[in-house]
Amino acid sequence: MGIGYVSEYRGIFPELTVSENLMLAASGSKIKSYEQIFDYFPVLKNYLETNAGSLSGGEQQMLAIGRALLGDKKLLILDEPTQGLAPLAAKSLVTSFHKIKGKTSILLVEQNVNLTLDLADRVYVM
């Protein structure tokens, strides 16, 4: 339906490689290349044969978001994407979110107000 979702628990398969995680997410679709994902998260290209469970928290989050973006996604729903991440990793994600935002709408649930205000066109506070 064109919606990608990343829960706060990431939902990657830690015993599979990065490549296998991406292949699994793409199964059943006509995706032939992960280049768009590597445009957003270039570091993942260096870890294609690495087990996802051995990646840092930020890299695991990049993989989870990359998996959710595979295919023609019109909306990406992110639940607490920076939770538990080092400030540098969170900043790197925000940079990628700005690139993604140009092609896909993002619904972001986040407690980091500064990150949200930097990224959002509209903010709702609960």
CATH number of the domain enclosing 100: 3.40.50.300
Q: Which domain holds residue 49?
A: 3-119
Residue 14 maps to a domain = yes
Residue 125 maps to a domain = no
Residue 126 maps to a domain = no
Residue 124 maps to a domain = no
* Alpha-carbon gap, residue 36 to 125, rounded angstroms: 32
- pLDDT, tens only, 34-65: 888 999 999 999 999 999 999 999 999 999 99
Average pLDDT over residues 114-119: 88
> For position 32, what pLDDT does the model report?
62
With a pLDDT cut of 90, the percent of the chain lying above it is 65
Neighbours of 95 (CB within 10 A): 9
Residue 53 maps to a domain = yes
pTM more than 0.85 = yes
Residue 109 maps to a domain = yes
Output 17 or 126, whichever has higher pLDDT.
17
Total domains in the fold of the chain:
1
